[in-house]
Each structure stands twice: as C-alpha cells, then as structure tokens.
Amino acid sequence: AKAGGGSSACFYSPEMDKAARDRCVLEVDLRRAVEQGGISVLYQPVVSTATGLTTSFEALARWIHPQRGPIPPDLFISIAEECGLVPELGRQVLETACREAASWPSHIRVAVNLSPLQFESGDLAATIVEVLARTGLPATRLQLEVTEGLVIRNVDRVFEILQALRDLGIQILMDDFGVGYSSLGYFERFPFDKVKIDRSFVSRMLESPVSYAIIEAVIGLGKRLGMGTVAEGVETAEQMNALVQLGCTHLQGYLISRPRPAADFEHILRAVP
Ligand code: C2E
Ligand code: CA
Ligand code: CA
Ligand code: CA
C-alpha cells in the first residue's frame, strides 16, 4: 500500500522490517511537517576561550511529532535526505536562522548546518544570497557548517561553491572533524575558517590518550593554518580546562548551554540600543 500523502514515493509491505516501515510512516509525516512549517530551530551558544563571551549560535533543527514527540534530528535529517526533502527543509532552517539572527547584536554570528545534498540541488549560492537579502542578515554574520561527506563526490564543484560563498564574506566551518573519511588534504584545497572537533573525541579526551593527542594535533594544525577550533560536546569543567590549556579557540556543549529557543538567550541577544 502506498503510505498516503502527496508526492511521497514510499511504499511499504508486510515483508519490510519494522524499522523500515517506521521510517516509511515517518516520511509521510515529515513531508507534511516541512510543507506546513512544522520544523523549528533551537540555538546553542559557542563561546570564545579568550573572552568567555558568546560569539555565535549554532542553529539546530527540531521536529516535534504530534503523536510521538521530539524526533532526533539525526533520524529525521537522514529520512529527509533519502526522500528528497532536504532542499526545502534546509532552506527553511536557513531562513528561520537568518531572520532570527538579523535582530541580534552585530558581533554575534549564526551557524547553519548544510547537508551534502544541498550542494547538488539547484543553485545553493543563489538560494543563500536570496535568503540573506530577504532577511537582512549581512553575509559576514553567517557561518555554514559542512561535513567531510560533502567532499566525496564532485570535489571540484563543491570547493567552487564554497569559495563563492566565502567570497561573499560567509565563514565556512568543517564540522565533525575526525569522524568518517577525513582527509587533511581538504585543508590544502580550501581555507576553512574553523574546524569543529567532534564530540566523540572531546567526551573521551580525559580517559583516552589517543583522543587527547588527536585533539592536540587538530588544535595545533588550526594554529598553523590560521583556523579557529571549536570543541563540540563539552560537558565538564575538566574537559573545558584541558581544552583551554591546549589552546582551543571556542567551546560548545551542555556545560555552557543546551540548545534552546532564541528567546531564552535574551540576556545575550538583546541588541544594544
Ligand atoms: P551536529 O551538527 O554535530 O550538532 C551538534 C549536536 O550535538 C547537536 O545534536 C547538539 O544538541 C549536540 N550537543 C551539543 N552539545 C552537547 C553536549 O555537551 N553533549 C551531548 N551529548 N550532545 C551535545 P542534535 O541537535 O541532536 O543534532 C544532531 C545532528 O543532526 C547534528 O549534529 C547535525 O548533523 C544534524 N542536524 C541538526 N540540525 C540540522 C539542520 O538544520 N540541517 C542539517 N543538514 N543537519 C542538521
Ligand atoms: Ca554542526
Ligand atoms: Ca558537529
Ligand atoms: Ca556530530
């Protein structure tokens, strides 16, 4: 049976395993949520280790399912990627984040995650320019977080688009560095503004000498190449102290704050009169 709903191409049958059927049902509901503006955005602060002040917020998509409650972003983003919903979902998150950030003090940036698939559909640079114009956010206050997976296909074209975006004044961040198929060669091909050290290394750094050494190496590389380093998933003061000691430039994690609605950060975001 076709699982209802619009242009969905999702079919399920009794032979499918439970997980696959589940995704199929979720796909229909996700399509509806995207169409009806049901995806919201939370913000998580990133602080400078030099000043202790918030320099940016990462925008993180949220979907509250009417019956099931919050669906983990890792799950609904991967469903969106499989069923062609990524371009529209990504555009909505970008627009919401830029509109919100346009009213923040001018020294605070907003970071938006890009799926590799957004580089393959339509003219990404044109979409971003259009959203910036419509929301009034200066390009210099937008950061885009891209993952290594991005560069697997069509390397030249991807770096061309990234360069065009960077020329506009947008900062490009390498997200989740160290997981997946990292290649140090990417840094030779493209001047990333910052590298984000994946949470998995930060969470192990005080128990695993290998994780610690990897973090130390990435921070050292960042210094040599003039790239800032953002440690993700900082949960304890001990991790924070160790990262500061190593010269990490920015921290993000539950120790500082969980992702929250922008309204909860009024004390940071109240624009200077
Ligand atoms: P990410 O880009 O690596 O985002 C950081 C994730 O780490 C977020 O999970 C955040 O809530 C979580 N996090 C931050 N600090 C801590 C901490 O101290 N401890 C722990 N345990 N977790 C922490 P979230 O919001 O569940 O998002 C998961 C992933 O979903 C993101 O990972 C990103 O890959 C993807 N995602 C979220 N929103 C978007 C979006 O708008 N577009 C795209 N393409 N992907 C998105
Ligand atoms: Ca991210
Ligand atoms: Ca990340
Ligand atoms: Ca991650």
Cβ of 239 closer than 6 Å to ligand 1, yes or no, is no
State which ligand 1 atom lies nearest to the alpha carbon of 203: 19
Q: What is the pLDDT of residues 149-187, one digit of tens each?
A: 776 677 888 899 999 999 999 999 999 988 877 778 888
Residue scoring higher pLDDT (18 or 206): 206
Residue 73 Cβ contacting ligand 1 at under 6 Å? yes
Give 3-state DSSP helix, strand, coil % of the chain, rounded to 5.
45, 20, 35
Q: Whose CA is nearest to atom 20 of ligand 1?
A: 233
Q: Which amino acid is at 239?
A: Q
Q: Sort strands 142-146 and 109-113 into parallel, antiparallel or unpaired.
A: parallel
Q: How confident is the model at residue 244 (pLDDT cuts 50, 70, 90)?
A: very high
Least confident of 116-125, 126-135, 167-176, 214-223: 116-125
Strands 39-48 and 142-146: unpaired
- CA-closest residue to ligand 1 atom 23: 233
| 218 phi and psi angles, rounded to 5 deg | -65, -40
Q: What is the pTM of this model?
A: 0.93
CB 272 within 8 A of CB 105: yes
Bridge-based pairing state of the strands 54-65 and 39-48: antiparallel
Residue ranges with CB less than 5 Å from ion ligand 2: 113, 145, 175
Give distance in angstroms: CA of 113 to centre of ligand 2. Answer: 5
- Give the Å distance between the CA of 2 and the centre of ligand 1: 32
Dump pLDDT digits (tens) for 40-97. 999 999 999 999 999 999 999 999 999 999 999 999 999 999 889 999 999 999 999 9
Calculate ∠ Cα 70-76-78, nearest 5°.
155
Cβ of residue 113 lying under 6 Å from some atom of ligand 1: yes
The atom of ligand 1 lying closest to the CA of 118 is 44
Is the Cβ atom of 71 under 6 angstroms away from ligand 1? no
